[in-house]
Amino acid sequence: MKNVIDVKHLTKSYKSNKAVDDLSFAVKEGEILGLLGPNGSGKSTTMNCILSLLKFEAGEIKIFGKEMAPDAYDIKTKVGVVFQDVAVFDELTVYENIDYFCGLYVEDKATRAQYVEDALKLVGLEENKSQYPKQLSGGLLRRLNIACGIAHKPKLIFLDEPTVAVDPQSRNNILEGIKKLREDGATVVYTTHYMEEVEILCDRVIILDHGKIIASGTNDELKALAKIEEKVTIEIPDLAPEKLAGFDKIKNVSEVEYDNGILKIVYRKGKNNLIDMMEYLKENMIQYNKIFSERPTLNDVFLELTGKELRD
């Protein structure tokens, strides 16, 4: 598959603060690439540089094989952007907003009318098309924001934290919509600090911190970077201190924490972890209720690589 975006050695500073530091990456046609990082890690700045909205000190940006510039209209025709902040006209209805922004790309009225209807359907706003933005809930407003950005059926879509402060129903709708866009052939660059969304959506993830790539790969590749294998949570209403100390001695256990009847065990990489733990419970006749086992998350990867949480 060919590259839709090529970024080489991109560097951008805000005064003395380096927001993007010698960043290089590529986005392949048809994939959903996640740009994951905490607030201030350079995700939005990277996106705005790619879109030629921001000046940058060094680097080369190509989209569809051509150099991106403010007047690269042939490239812009194929690009759609959903910004983090809602960017619609309060004075226009839902339909008019989508029609207006779509009209900046598509001149033919009949085609545009169909595109607007498709966008309304994609984000589930068919019943709200006569309403004004102020009449919409936060979640519906976000959906409108997305519809305005993708109505012209772009081949490359940038989504900058599109689910910030939305209700679960709208979030699901948005994520489903993004999957649908990819199914229709679009390449998607998805910036977020919600690791769960990245895990659900993205084929490949780039983790940013302080404007640098600290890791990249598929979800599984990134999780393989984590030193932990799994996290096990067990409900044990009553656990004697000497029995608690015994958990530390089980093979591959790296951390043990017991609080308020909940035992949390973190395992290093290794085999038969759960079996060893079950045997210990049985041997020591420890009464337990439920057991949960979790695989490491991207947050664990980030924590290991940077020493801080993604949401810090």
Partner 1 sequence: MFWHNYKYALKALCKNRMLVFWTTIFPFILAILFNLAFARLHDYDVFEPFNVAVVNDEAYQNEKVFSEAFKTLGEGDEKLFNIEYTDKDRAEELLENGDVDGYVYVVDGKKKVKIKENGTNQTVLTMTTEQISQSAKIIDDIAMSEIAKSAGQPVDVVAIYQNAVKVVTEAEPNVKDESHVMNVVSVEFYSLIAMACMQGAMLSCEMMNRCMPNITNRGKRVAIAPTRKGIIVASNLLAGYTMLFVSIIALIFFTRFILGVEYGDNIPFICLLAAIGGLTATMLGMFLSVILKTRESLKNVIIVVVTMLGSLFAGMFGAMKMFFDEMIPIANKISPVGLITDGFYSLYYYEDMTRFYINVISLVVISILLFVFSIRSLRRQRYDSI
Smallest distance, Å, CB 51 to partner 1?
A: 5
Q: How far is the CB of 149 from partner 1 (least distance, A)?
A: 7
* Residue placing its CB nearer to partner 1 in the complex, 55 or 282: 55
Residue 56 CB, nearest distance to partner 1 (Å)? 8
Q: CB nearer to partner 1: give 83 or 302.
A: 83
CB nearer to partner 1: give 101 or 194.
101
Whole-angstrom Cα Rg for the chain: 24
Residue placing its CB nearer to partner 1 in the complex, 23 or 68: 68
Binding positions for partner 1, rule: CB under 8 A? 14, 48, 51-55, 69-71, 73-74, 76-77, 79, 81, 83, 85-89, 91-92, 96, 99-101, 103-105, 107, 148-149
* Alpha-carbon span 42 to 31, nearest angstrom: 21
Burial 89-126 (b: 16+ CB within 10 A, else e): eeeebbbbbbbebbbebbeeeeebeebbebbbebbbbe
Among 190, 191, 140, smallest CA distance to 170 is for: 140
CB 33 within 8 A of CB 188: yes
Nearer to partner 1, 160 or 229 (CB): 160
CB of 55 to partner 1, least distance (A): 5
Backbone angles phi, psi at 27, to 5 degrees: -120, 125
Tell me if residue 148 falls in helix, strand or coil: helix
Cα separation, 50 vs 70, whole angstroms: 10
Q: What is the smallest separation between the CB atom of 212 and partner 1, expressed in angstroms? A: 20
